[in-house]
Amino acid sequence: MASPLNGRLRVPSDKSLSHRVALFSAMAEGTSNFLNLLDSLDVRSTLAAIEVLGAKVELDEDNDKNGLCGRITGWGSTGPKLSDSERLGSDDPAETIGSGNKLQCGNSGTTARLLLGVLGGYDITVTLEGDDSLSRRPMSRVTDPLSLMGANFEPSAHLPIKVIGCKELTAITYESLVASAQVKSAILLAGINANGITTVSEPHKSRDHTELMLPAFGAKLEVYENQVSIEGGQQLKACDCSVPADPSSAAFLLVSAAMIPGSEILVEDVLLNPTRGGFLLVMQRMGVDIAVNENPDASIGAEVCGDITVKYNERLVATTVEAHEIASLIDEIPILALLAATAKGETVFKQVSELRVKESDRLLAIINGLKALGIEAWTNDDDLHIVGGEIQPCAQVFETHGDHRLAMTWSIASRAFDLNLNIADIECVAVSYPGFFADLIRLS
């Protein structure tokens, strides 16, 4: 039997907020000071990109244990201008952004898609590139609406993409077919430099970090239910930020505690944004013992933070996760699927086709991994079905396809069920949670 997990810790800072702090600071007039920026490959890609585009990035040598600290002086009203860049404090060649008119986005979809929106509104031509995985991910969901505004992309479906920006963008009213924070954010960031009022609506409310953080940088927006509007011609202003812990990273440890007898852990300073907290509601419905305590003194823009405690409960039950909930827990589905494998009954995640176009085909990978653990799992149209049961692994090698969330999920399975699994490309966890394995050991 696996030994319990006990203790308290702070997981790495939120990745979504870290990307936005870097990008908004780069667009802003003045110097923004930041604390606890996530130090991961994805965020380093964004930092390196904005530096090549003319923002001044200064990282403190005595960074806090919770992340990067430093300053970003934005390009402000002068706009981005291509320049060569030095590496940002690392000898890792994966963090070299390149020079000339090419920007390397690595594995970061957020870097690529938000930069498409940012750069679309300036008189600049630059090519965005990515690794093999990112180059397979769809970009037309972002480039199509940006093209309607007047930006040009060659080609438009997949990286590498040449961005031919336009300083005279036209505002649009756009009804997105998918609930995607990256699509919404890219259009809104382009809308800052457009003539008129840009409006984005979506079928379900996606992550709203952009809407909550832009006002801290001086922007004015209007939000009504699943619709956001921004008026063009605004100039962002510098803002000092401290980034809270990432709920998606916290989810892996919290689910671990829910599955391993005798466990109780507390994760500190977690972002409690409702559009990111869907996994907590699902865990509660399944019978997990959860306590959430808000900290009114910790905030970034209009975001709320707090501590989350989870205790083991042996009586977990299946649930149905409806389509309108998926956007609030899309990144946590792999680890929630593992939790469902231990619950009594059949759990259904509805309308999860978005999982097919993540860092890997996560939907197929989840099913294959659960089957390798001896658990029934299948798809019916775009719904994922999982029947909880006894873990009886029939394979020892688990593929991750370079996907950090799959690597953490199968690592948790190995730890929770006291298995000796061989997990391929396990080092890819560094994309979002470089200290993941060290934290597991700390709690053991």
Question: Which residue matches tokens 């505004």?
Answer: 149
CB 358 within 8 A of CB 304: no
Question: 214-242 burial, b if ≥16 CB within 10 A, otherwise e?
Answer: bebbbbebeeeebebbbbbebebbbbebb
Q: What are phi and psi of 128, to 5 degrees?
A: -95, 130
**Four-CA torsion 159, 424, 259, 374, nearest 10 degrees:** 110
Whether residue 331 lies in the annotated active site: yes
Alpha-carbon distance 198 to 11, whole Å?
36
CB 267 within 8 A of CB 293: no
Residue 160: is the preceding peptide bond cis (ω within 30°)? yes
Alpha-carbon distance 85 to 46, whole Å?
13
Catalytic residue among 131, 269, 331, 439: 331
Alpha-carbon distance 315 to 155, whole Å?
52
Measured in residues, the chain has a length of: 444
- Show Cβ contacts of residue 331 under 8 Å, excluding neighbours closer than 6 positions: 248, 405
> Which candidate, 406, 415, 370, 405, places its Cα nearest to that of 390?
370
Q: Which residues pair with 128 in a beta bridge?
A: 103, 161
How many Cα atoms within 13 Å fall on the side-chain side of residue 126?
34
Q: Which residues are catalytic?
A: 331
